[in-house]
Amino acid sequence: MNRLVAGVLAWLKTSVCSVALIGAVAGLAPAHAADTPRERVKVTDPYLELRTGPGRGFPVFFVVEREEWIEIESRHTDWFKVRTAGGKEGWAVRQQLENTLTAAGSQKTFRDVMLDDYLKRKLEMGAAWGRFKSEPMLKIWTGYRVSETLSLEGTIGQVQGVFSGTDFWHVNVNAEPWSHRRLSPFFGIGMGKFKNIPNASLVGAQTTNVNMGNASIGLRYHVSDRFVARADYTFYTAFLSDNRVGEYRAITAGFSFFF
CATH of the domain at 64: 2.30.30.40
3-class DSSP string for 22-56: HHHHHHHHHHHHHHCCCEEEECCCCEEEEECCCCC
What is the structure's pLDDT at 39? Answer: 80
What is the structure's pLDDT at 18? Answer: 45
Integer Cα distance of 245 and 248 in angstroms = 10
Other Cβ atoms closer than 10 A to 43 = 23
Q: 52, 78, 105 — which closes off a domain?
A: 105
132 and 248 Cβ atoms separated by less than 8 Å: yes
Integer Cα distance of 111 and 231 in angstroms = 25
Q: Which of 75, 80, 79, 70 is nearest to 40 (CA)?
A: 70
Q: 105, 131, 162 — which closes off a domain?
A: 105
Pair 91, 192 in one domain: no
Pair 99, 134 in one domain: no
Pair 152, 205 in one domain: yes
Residue 202 counted as domain residue: yes
Residue 194 counted as domain residue: yes
Q: What range does the domain containing 249 cover?
A: 121-258
For 238, how many CA atoms within 13 A lie in the half-sphere containing its CB? 16
What is the structure's pLDDT at 78? Answer: 76
Pair 180, 57 in one domain: no
Integer Cα distance of 57 and 79 in angstroms = 12
Helices (H), 104-215: 111-119
Pair 184, 244 in one domain: yes
- Model confidence pLDDT, tens digit, residues 86-139: 888 999 888 888 778 777 776 666 565 566 666 778 899 999 999 998 899 999
Integer Cα distance of 237 and 133 in angstroms = 12
User: Going residue by residue through the chain (259 aa), what tens digit of pLDDT does each one get?
Assistant: 444 445 445 544 544 444 444 344 444 444 444 455 678 888 888 888 899 998 889 999 998 988 898 888 887 777 888 899 888 899 988 888 877 877 777 666 656 556 666 677 889 999 999 999 889 999 999 999 999 899 999 999 999 888 888 999 999 999 999 988 889 999 999 999 999 888 766 666 778 899 999 999 999 998 877 889 999 999 999 998 888 898 999 999 999 988 7
Residues β-bridged to residue 187: 175, 217
Residue 162 counted as domain residue: yes
> How many structural domains is the chain composed of?
2
What is the structure's pLDDT at 173? Answer: 97
Q: Which of 259, 208, 201, 197 is nearest to 238 (CA)?
A: 208
Integer Cα distance of 101 and 140 in angstroms = 41
Q: Give the CATH number of the domain where residue 230 resides.
A: 2.40.160.20
